[in-house]
Amino acid sequence: MSGHFESLPGGGASVALDDVEISIIRSLAVQLLELIGPGPAEDGGEDPLAELFAEGPSEPPSDPVLRRLFPDAYGGPGGDPASLEEAEEQREHSAEFRRFTENDLRARKREDALAVIRSLDSLASASGEGGVLKLSREESGRWLGALNDLRLAIASRLDVLHEDDADHLYQLPDDDPRKPMVMAYLWLGGLQETLVTTLMP
């Protein structure tokens, strides 16, 4: 798989995608949507005003991928607390921050994934096959968010915590069952990198 984003005049970006690439990205985005789950309105048909002021969860998700997508705001790698008291304080601050921000963060991630799916569906229906996807600057921002989330999700499944951890993935034999996921991870990284470059002033 190849393909990289290029700048469009006046902002935005374009990328040539074939049928297989469209299918892979779309499938991953759908899986991401399923993992994130529906919003409160989709799930229970609540009053929109009540939904606006609804509080989110205070505990981190149990799924390791969701923990990666919705990390604690305080503490974490490199920030180990010096004492039990400090650890408890970090936990309380993280719980409070999560309660008031996670619903909005989930909604944004859903919208990013949906934007990817819609643009790919539009490209496929317009051409009947692959083609050149053209994105506005706003759509490019949505794609950037979704590509980042997809890479975080795959990295979590591959036990990649830092970019340096991915070095050994290049050496996997072709018959390793993780190989397709590794190829997708690396390919999405290339797409993400070129998209960032196109959006730089």
Residue 117 lies in a domain: yes
Domain of residue 159: give its range.
Answer: 6-199
CB of 116 closer than 8 Å to CB of 143 = yes
More confident residue, 101 or 179: 179
Does any domain span residue 15? yes
Residues near 43 by beta carbon (within 8 Å), at least 6 away in sequence: 37
* pLDDT given for residue 171 in this prediction: 82
Asked if residue 137 belongs to a domain, the reply is: yes
Residue 109 lies in a domain: yes
> Looking at the domain assignment, is residue 123 inside a domain?
yes
pLDDT of residue 1: 44
Neighbours of 58 (CB within 10 A): 15
In a domain, 1, yes or no: no
Question: pLDDT tens digits for 44-62?
Answer: 455 555 555 566 666 767 7
Predicted pLDDT of residue 56: 66
pLDDT interval class at 33 (50, 70, 90): very high
Tens of pLDDT, residues 93-146: 677 777 777 788 889 999 999 999 999 999 877 666 778 999 999 999 999 999
Q: How many folded domains does the chain comprise? A: 1
Residue 39 lies in a domain: yes
